[in-house]
Amino acid sequence: MAVVPQVAAQSTSEGSPSAPTARVRLAVNGVRHELDLDTRQSLLDVLREDLGLTGTKKGCNQGACGACTILLNGRRVVSCLTLAAMHDGATVETIEGLEKNGELHPLQSAFVEHDGLQCGFCTPGQIMSAVGCIAEGHAGSPDDIRFWMSGNICRCGAYPGIVAAVADAAKRV
């Protein structure tokens, strides 16, 4: 893995020159980073603002909408409600890491095929949540999918397409 050293970012929403910092090592989509971070930075802010991975979206920033869902050490979490400083040594997967060698992940293809989106803002969170949902074995039926995907809100109301996409992808992954 490549190691990308980074300096303390002063440009983040929480950054200020005098605030306490923490050294955090993260492996994000297979790339290692060493960061000096403001202790107040959420994992979401670090992904978006320090690492430039803006695929992960900031919706409510209070754990209610699921737009910021990522896999943290293999488990789906909302990255807005956890501090990056608590995850030294962690492995993170984001929407940017799903595509392999120019091939979309089966969930990405399924969302396209089943119109699992309109505006697309919630889609990265939906797809990362669905990766977790399928891995947990909670995508066995449409009812199952509706319940176990309920942490991801879609304000456009693309739910029928989302459920169809997850059900379809569950057969393929």
| 14 lies in the site for other proteins, by CB under 8 A | yes
Given the rule CB under 8 A, which of 26-34, 91-99, 130-138, 159-167 is the region that contacts other proteins?
130-138
Within 95-124, the residues that bind other proteins by CB under 8 A are: none
Which alpha helices (DSSP H) does 24-158 contain, by range? 43-45, 106-113, 123-135, 142-148
* 63, 91, 120, 121: which one binds other proteins (CB under 8 A): 63
Both tokens assigned to 158: 């693309």
Tokens representing 57? 């979206």
Nearest to 78 by CA among 97, 59, 91, 96: 59
- The rounded distance, in Å, linking the Cα atoms of 106 and 95 is 12
Report, in Å, the least distance between residue 149 CB and other proteins: 8
Check binding of 66 to other proteins (CB under 8 A). Answer: yes
Structure-block tokens of residue 112: 């396209």
Closer to other proteins by Cβ: residue 72 or 164 = 72
- State which of residues 47, 78, 92, 170 lies at the interface with other proteins (CB under 8 A): 78
For β-strands 3-5 and 31-38, DSSP reports them as parallel
Q: Does 135 bind other proteins (CB under 8 A)?
A: no
